[in-house]
A and B are shown apart, each in its own frame.
Chain A
Amino acid sequence: MKRIPSLVALAFLIPAAVGVVALSVVAGSSTLVDLPEDRRWDIIFQYRLPRGILAFLVGASLGASGVCFQGLFRNALADPFVVGVSSGAALGAVGAIVLGLQTTVLGLAPPTAAGFVGATVAAFLAYGVARVRGRVPVTTLLLAGSAIGSFAGAMVSILILMNSPNWSEVVTWLMGSISHPDPWSRVKVVVPCLIASATVMMVYARDLNVLLLGEESAQQLGVEVERLKIFLLGAGALAAAGAVATCGMIGFVGLIVPHVARRLVGPDHRALLPITVLAGGILLTLADIAARVVSPQFPLPIGAVTALGGAPFFVYILRRRSAKI
């Protein structure tokens, strides 16, 4: 019986995903009507389509990362940023911006490359700090991540204060933005991260379910818990890093979407993961469309849009959870 809602959800969400990306190509097309045909196609295929796809993929990555961490930490308030990944990425990217680094690494823009390095270092650091005698208690991992996040956040603040000429780039990055003159280049970064991390998550989806019973029970049921944690931490961090390193800190998507998806199809990660990925993509694409429709001239930072809508939802979840207790 459980399969039916998830199949129905998939049957609904896949066309919806195609629909919102198509909508994002059409949205605001009033300016396109008067243009010569070749310019119109340039805008559609080289700018709007990749932008819509980028928004979708970034939302999907954040959703995947969020659901992975919520399962791993067994904590409803975990999101892609909990293990310090985002602050690490922020420190890397802001450092690259402030230092004015210009050279591209493996074809990546300096803030993106440095963001990746920062995210990876933060995740491994959190894991290393939390590791005691070959075991990594998730609570310690959570706290270590939070400490590393605070530290990196403080460093970011200092960097911002040190350097004002590039502050607008820093602020845009910290607020998260989909708008970029070259969206395909970002798509190319996000795609491999999402595919790799989502594959790992799907492979371990069953183990994630077992993990919900608690680590000891999972161990008794034959799950290699410590190895599972490494893979899930790595996958969640990779998905978040791909999104954050390219488009900056887009908050709340990774927190909200797993909860919405759980309401749709229940807690089974085999269904929950693909639904979250789709729903995350749809949500962020819609947020991007909303941002463009509300403010056609001035590109609204999408992180501000998601936080604006996400914060009330966060409060709602908090209220519901406390009501249950």
Chain B
Amino acid sequence: MRRLLAFLMLCGCAKPADPPQATREFVDARGKTVKVVYPPKRIVSIIPSTTELLFNVGAGEQVAGVTTYCDWPPEAKKKPKIGDIRVDFEMLAALKPDVVVTSWSTTKKASAEIEGKGYALFSVEPRSFEEIAASLRRLGALTGHEAEGERAAAALEARVKAVVASPGLTVYIEHSPAPLGTTGPDTYMGDAVRRAGGRNIFEGGWHDLIDWETVMARDPEVILIVHDRKSGYESRAGWSNLRAVKNKRVYFVAKEHYMYPTPRLADGLEEAARIFREKNP
């Protein structure tokens, strides 16, 4: 209530006082102060997850440009493209963005290049559920949708809180079939599985390449396949003797529920919790 009041007061004093082209200063997740036209009418997002977060806080209409990989929500696909993982600066210039929104996955060099060309670059750094919620609030504030940002963040927090973990089972998360890669607990994907109660058989971070032998040796109780390959597992060495296979606890889950640091990650968390609650048949 107090937040809402504060927000109303803020709206009340800011709106009539600010001329149309007024700028406002925001501190982004890097700790950088970014001067942005407020409210920004033309936002370019250069990371799929930030595109999604912008739509989550109701700023979809202001999004003027996205990457070719931005496929969620479906409306994002209709937006003009500014490149793939690399920003095409000519297209960016043509869109005349008020602010460019990015995330931790953009390199320092790439960030410096964008800032060097005079664009306001606002970074959110969602690496955990807490930070996803924080990112929603930041983007809500940045885009003039403070209430919606707050609502989305609170909804996410409530979902995460409601999840009942069933701790104990060891789990192997297969992130990539070739080369064989897993995801450790130090990532948001690993965090979702950990919160649901899974004990990762690997340590570490993203997309670690591994040897199949290690999976055989650690013999997980649950296997989560988080990529699109659905067949060809039976011929793997020792497959039918793995505990997870014997107990029919190999799950092919939708990778979209785990791949993005956005509220969709809560789908993954809830799904993983359901999986860990199941009893061996």
Contacts and interface: CB of A to CB of B under 8 A. Distances in A.
Contact of B236 (A31, A43, A181, A298): A181
B179 A46 contact: no
Interface in B67-122: 84-85
A302 to B, nearest CB: 12
Give the size category of A's interface with B.
Answer: 20 to 34
A168 B231 CA distance: 20
Interface stretch (B52-60, B158-166, B204-212, B264-272): B204-212
A172 B179 contact: yes
Contacts of B176: 168-169
A39 B239 CA distance: 11
B191 interface: no
A113 B176 CA distance: 21
Nearest to A171: B179
Interface stretch (B28-36, B131-139, B213-221): B213-221
Given A31-B214, A181-B236, A299-B210, 7 more contacts: A43-B213, A46-B237, A47-B213, A102-B229, A181-B212, A185-B235, A297-B214
16 contacts: A31-B214, A39-B216, A39-B241, A43-B213, A43-B238, A46-B238, A97-B178, A168-B181, A168-B207, A169-B179, A179-B180, A181-B180, A181-B236, A184-B235, A298-B209, A299-B209
Nearest to A111: B178
Interface of B: 84-85, 176, 178-181, 207-214, 216-217, 219, 229, 231-232, 235-238, 241
Question: Closest 5 CB pairs between A and B?
Answer: A46-B237, A181-B212, A42-B238, A181-B236, A172-B179
B237 A181 contact: yes
Nearest to B207: A168
B217 A32 contact: yes
A107 to B, nearest CB: 9
A48 interface: yes
Contacts of B236: 181-182
A185 to B, nearest CB: 6
Given A35-B217, A299-B211, A184 B237 contact: yes
Contacts of A297: 208, 210-211, 214
Nearest to B86: A164
B237 A169 contact: no
Contacts of A169: 176, 178-179
Contacts of A46: 216, 237-238
A23 B155 CA distance: 57
Contacts of A164: 84-85
Nearest to A180: B212
Interface centre among A31, A47, A168 (most CB of B within 10 A): A47
B212 A47 contact: yes
Contacts of B208: 297-298
A102 B231 CA distance: 9
Interface string A36-72: 0011001100111010000000000000000000000
B189 to A, nearest CB: 16
A291 to B, nearest CB: 10
A183 interface: yes
A164 B84 CA distance: 9
Contacts of A39: 216-217, 219, 238, 241
B216 A179 contact: no
Nearest to B174: A181
B179 A182 contact: no
